[in-house]
Chains A and B, each alone.
Chain A
Amino acid sequence: MRIAVIGAGAVGAACALALTEAGAEVIVLDRVGVAAETSSRCEGNILVSDKGPGAEAELAILANRTWRELARRLDGDRMPGQPATEYEAKGGVVVAFGASAGVLADFAATQRAIGIRAVPVSAAELRELEPHLSDAVEAGVHYPDDAQVQPSLATQAMLARACRLGAEFRIAEIIGARHAHGRIIGVETPDGVIGADAVVNCAGPWAGAVAALLGGRLDIRPRRGVILVTTPMPQRVFHKVYDADYVGAVGSGDAALQTSTVVESTPAGTVLIGSSRELVGFSAEQLLPPLTEIAAKATKLFPFLADTMLLRSYFGFRPFAPDHLPAIGADGDVDGLFHAAGHEGAGIGLAPATGELIAHAVLGSPAPLDPAPFLPTRAGLRSAA
């Protein structure tokens, strides 16, 4: 069976790897190259801490375990052109200011009920975990299972492994599709038609546009996120540290600018500071409000940051699904067309589990969990479209 995967970001690479490992003949197509967009413009979160009980939390818990094993496999056997994933199970620390401490404690209790390790920590314990945290922070929750990869490198590593197992990678833009009897039989590129028995749309924030090109339907929109990177320094941030209001912002559908602080160190010694969310299309304009608001909130969490230098900043577009769940599975209208998109800020973390769900949908291999909540045909996604 020959499968075309469209998009060489983290989700496309993970789908290609899962499908190749399951024995399919896979060709990955991307208009720019591996990890050219969203997967090179994000933080590489593999989080369980920001998920409340529900389908996405189940997927996140599964993906968290899968990443641990996958990173070991990828990094243990590298080849030229395959970078290390920089997987690090550093753990997350979520902190709350003032009155929101109670809300955070309640949220953590619901997480513990579904098996997430969420350990309440006192002010003193917080200082042991993060000595440079602001004195104003009085309560927090420690999530030992939160992890991180360098997202671009992890994507490259997954694709390199897939190619080593026989997948083909080609730079080509999709301009249309070929159908026969209501079934997709190939995709059109400027260089000709590429025949396929199945097509998997992993085009991230462009997945809606690609779905339309292929005759299908998917409501995925770009949500802009800005990240600040400091100059390298001796390590002063030891976990992924974020403000409890992050959880609210992730689940929000508000179009206006929202920011919530996420701070962490990288192996290169830089500190990454996020995060913002805006529904502004694919716009590069008006970047100052998110940049300055992120900076203001981060210095409130870690006062020492005020005197550190910004080395660079960048922004990317996350694939936003109106009902906040990724769309994974068969298209409702076109046979042979599948989607794996709409993970918003969780695409890196959820990628390996998404790949397994796609292998189930396309090839019928065992499903790692109930696929129903994520189906692109679900009411929540259809009604919003």
Chain B
Amino acid sequence: MTRRVAILGAGPAGLAAADAALTAGAEVILLDEGERIGGQFWRHHEQLTDRRMQHQHARFAQLRRAVGAATVHCEASVWRVDADRGIRVHALLGPADASGREAITIDADALVIATGAHDRALPVPGWTLPGVITAGAAQALAKRDGATIGARTVVAGSGPFLLPVAEGIALAGGSVVEVVEAAGVGAIARGWGRAPWRLAAVAGKSGELAGYVGGLLRRRTPYRFGQAVTRIHGVGGVEAVTVQRVDARWRPIPGTDRTVECDSVALGHGFTPRLEAAIQAGCDLSTERFVVVDDRQATSVASVFAAGEITGIGGADAALAEGAVAGFAAAGGALDDRRIRGALRARTRMHAFAARLDTHAIRPGWTSWLDDDTIICRCESVTRARLDEYAAASSRAMRLATRAGLGACQGRTCGRTVETLTAAGVDFDRRPVLSSIRIGELARLHHAEHKEQE
């Protein structure tokens, strides 16, 4: 009998999973919340997107053709995943703000969770000014709409992701004043060798990263290491930033401040995996809070597989390889099958690249650039001082007293930062319902099931 595989997320990992599962003979149902498939990496618009920002476009085109054989639901809000008595996925179809969305329930033999990651921005005094966005948002704006947030942008944070963001802003017509990387030259030399774009050759990433650095050089954009934006200035909008040298623990070094004029800032300090669906399905997490998987990308829950950033931040190439393995295994394929050999090799290679991303991991000293009145939870305007006041309470008590993480984003933006500042496991990503749903939509499921029983 044909196995039915449901896949959550149509980014690189989910698309590769769908392709591989189809190859292995499964029936595939692919769900994604976006307007169209591709995820953040291949975020695009048929008319507005600049082709130069579509990396590995040929691969995307191939995957897009391949998933023509799958049932694909875009604009699908998956709101509940149950895996304790067989796999059942509940979703609503249509724009999230539309009424009258169609409810679907999918029963499957296997599930691949490929929900990706949010980009993360650390708070900085002044980061709530208009003109400050996350690096991921700047990239999405450039890719999807060919637009920029301002005319002169400082790109700051950590990790190689800052490079394509700077490139995207430039291609969309903006000017990048500086790229500010918190990891120091020493740390980068230890992590990557002398130059990241050269050492990334291990993973076959050299061309891509060298291209970005070449772009920076051509446009005479400084690429600073061991520095951070520690304050953003302006009245009613961004006017300048303070850039400071930071030590190996990312503590700002007094007396090293420079003022850099700009009208916008893109902040990116790595990524936070989107674990909610995996947690709801019951998957075990590692102490670093990634989904634990084995060689087959199988999680701790029977018939549930995971791939991409939720299993470890590794970028699109790692996601493609893991996705292919996950999809193939979910469809019942064996790892010694020659059709999956290429993906297995690529996965090994890309994990070596991913390990090097640790060089850019957030160091604890960043908290010393916060002021007492720096807003940490933006939805509810909760300041650092307010969090400190309740740092000794239990996590739920702290949240309810400060309201941190109780606003519209439900801690998706501030969660990890609140955990850092209060030294508590807040567990924001454990929730009974995964996405926005109307009370009436919940009620309809009750009525439908009630009728079924009658």
- Could you tell me which A residues sit within 8 Å of B by CB distance? 8, 30, 32-37, 40-41, 80-81, 83, 150, 152-153, 155-156, 226, 228, 230-231, 268, 273, 285-289, 291-293, 295-296, 298-299, 305-315
- Which residues of B, 93-152, contact A by the 8 Å Cβ criterion? 99
Q: Are A310 and B400 in contact (CB under 8 A)?
A: no
Q: Are A309 and B436 in contact (CB under 8 A)?
A: yes
Q: Are B442 and A307 in contact (CB under 8 A)?
A: no
Q: Are B443 and A299 in contact (CB under 8 A)?
A: yes
Instruction: Check if B345 is an interface residue, CB within 8 A of chain A.
Output: no
- Which residues of B, 369-415, contact A by the 8 Å Cβ criterion? 389-390, 392-397, 400-401, 403, 406, 408, 410
Q: Which residues of B contact A273 (CB under 8 A)?
A: 439
Q: With A35-B397, A295-B446 known to touch, is A310 a contact of B436 (CB < 8 Å)?
A: yes
Q: How far is the CA of A312 from the CA of B443 in the complex (A)?
A: 15
User: Measured between C-beta atoms, what is the minimum distance from B231 to chain A in Å?
Assistant: 27
Q: Which residues of A contact B442 (CB under 8 A)?
A: 228, 291-292, 295-296, 310
Instruction: Check if B433 is an interface residue, CB within 8 A of chain A.
Output: yes
Instruction: Check if B80 is an interface residue, CB within 8 A of chain A.
Output: yes
Closest to A80 in B: B389
Q: Which residues of B contact A299 (CB under 8 A)?
A: 439-440, 443
Can you identify 23 A-B contacts, CB atoms within 8 angstroms?
Answer: A8-B394, A30-B394, A33-B392, A36-B396, A36-B397, A81-B389, A81-B393, A155-B397, A156-B393, A268-B403, A288-B445, A291-B442, A292-B443, A292-B446, A295-B443, A295-B446, A296-B446, A298-B443, A306-B438, A306-B443, A309-B436, A310-B436, A310-B437
Closest to A314 in B: B432
Q: Are B433 and A306 in contact (CB under 8 A)?
A: no
Closest to B394 in A: A33
Q: Which residues of A contact B403 (CB under 8 A)?
A: 268
Q: With A288-B445, A291-B433, A313-B431 known to touch, is A307 a contact of B440 (CB < 8 Å)?
A: yes
Q: With A268-B406, A288-B445 known to touch, is A226 a contact of B432 (CB < 8 Å)?
A: yes
Name the interface size band of chain B: 20 to 34
Q: How far is the CA of A301 from the CA of B200 in the complex (A)?
A: 61
Q: Which residues of B contact A228 (CB under 8 A)?
A: 439, 442
Q: With A230-B439, A307-B99 known to touch, is A36 a contact of B401 (CB < 8 Å)?
A: no
Q: With A81-B390, A306-B438, A306-B440 known to touch, is A291 a contact of B449 (CB < 8 Å)?
A: no
The B interface, classified by DSSP as helix, strand, loop or mixed, is mixed
Q: With A288-B445, A296-B447, A298-B439 known to touch, is A231 a contact of B433 (CB < 8 Å)?
A: no
Closest 3 CB pairs of A and B: A33-B394, A306-B440, A36-B394
Q: How far is the CA of A299 from the CA of B400 in the complex (A)?
A: 26
* 8 extra interface residue pairs, beta carbon distance < 8 Å, beyond A33-B392, A308-B438, A310-B436: A34-B394, A35-B394, A36-B394, A40-B397, A230-B439, A292-B445, A296-B443, A310-B442
Closest to B398 in A: A33
Most buried by B among A83, A150, A231, A305: A83
Q: Which residues of A contact B84 (CB under 8 A)?
A: 285-286
Q: Which residues of A contact B440 (CB under 8 A)?
A: 295, 299, 305-307
Q: Which residues of B contact A153 (CB under 8 A)?
A: 400-401
- Could you tell me which B residues sit within 8 Å of A by CB distance? 80, 82, 84, 90, 99, 389-390, 392-397, 400-401, 403, 406, 408, 410, 431-433, 436-440, 442-443, 445-447, 449
Q: Are B439 and A295 in contact (CB under 8 A)?
A: yes
Q: Which residues of A contact B394 (CB under 8 A)?
A: 8, 30, 32-36, 40
Q: How far is the CA of A150 from the CA of B390 in the complex (A)?
A: 16
Set B395, B433, B439, B447: member contacting A308, Cβ < 8 A: B439
Q: Are B439 and A81 in contact (CB under 8 A)?
A: no
Q: How far is the CA of A315 from the CA of B430 in the complex (A)?
A: 11
User: Measured between C-beta atoms, what is the minimum distance from A224 to chain B in Å?
Assistant: 12
Q: Are A311 and B438 in contact (CB under 8 A)?
A: no
Q: Which residues of B contact A313 (CB under 8 A)?
A: 431-433
User: Measured between C-beta atoms, what is the minimum distance from B446 to chain A in Å?
Assistant: 4
Closest to A259 in B: B446
Q: How far is the CA of A83 from the CA of B408 in the complex (A)?
A: 22
Set A40, A268, A308, A312: member contacting B431, Cβ < 8 A: A312
User: Measured between C-beta atoms, what is the minimum distance from B261 to chain A in Å?
Assistant: 38
User: Measured between C-beta atoms, what is the minimum distance from B76 to chain A in Å?
Assistant: 17
Set B90, B401, B436: member contacting A152, Cβ < 8 A: B401
Q: With A81-B390, A285-B84, A296-B443 known to touch, is A152 a contact of B396 (CB < 8 Å)?
A: yes
Q: Are B401 and A305 in contact (CB under 8 A)?
A: no
Q: With A293-B446, A305-B440 known to touch, is A34 a contact of B433 (CB < 8 Å)?
A: no
Q: How far is the CA of A279 from the CA of B330 in the complex (A)?
A: 36
Q: Which residues of B contact A306 (CB under 8 A)?
A: 438-440, 443
Q: How far is the CA of A311 from the CA of B436 in the complex (A)?
A: 7
Q: Are B401 and A83 in contact (CB under 8 A)?
A: yes
Q: How far is the CA of A152 from the CA of B438 in the complex (A)?
A: 26
Q: Are B432 and A291 in contact (CB under 8 A)?
A: yes
Q: Are A156 and B401 in contact (CB under 8 A)?
A: yes
Q: Are A312 and B446 in contact (CB under 8 A)?
A: no
Set B392, B408, B432, B437: member contacting A315, Cβ < 8 A: B432
Q: Which residues of A contact B406 (CB under 8 A)?
A: 268, 312
Q: With A81-B389, A296-B446, A299-B443 known to touch, is A309 a contact of B437 (CB < 8 Å)?
A: yes
Q: Are A312 and B410 in contact (CB under 8 A)?
A: yes
Most buried by B among A152, A298, A305: A152
Q: How far is the CA of A58 from the CA of B223 in the complex (A)?
A: 73
Q: Which residues of B contact A81 (CB under 8 A)?
A: 389-390, 392-393
Q: How far is the CA of A279 from the CA of B133 in the complex (A)?
A: 47
Q: Which residues of A contact B82 (CB under 8 A)?
A: 288
User: Measured between C-beta atoms, what is the minimum distance from A385 to chain B in Å?
Assistant: 30
Q: How far is the CA of A315 from the CA of B445 in the complex (A)?
A: 19
Q: Which residues of B contact A33 (CB under 8 A)?
A: 392-395, 397
Q: Which residues of B contact A295 (CB under 8 A)?
A: 439-440, 442-443, 446
Closest to B430 in A: A284
Q: How far is the CA of A152 from the CA of B397 in the complex (A)?
A: 6
Closest to B400 in A: A152
Most buried by B among A40, A305, A311: A40
Most buried by B among A36, A37, A150, A292: A292
Most buried by A among B431, B433, B443, B445: B443
User: Measured between C-beta atoms, what is the minimum distance from B411 to chain A in Å?
Assistant: 10
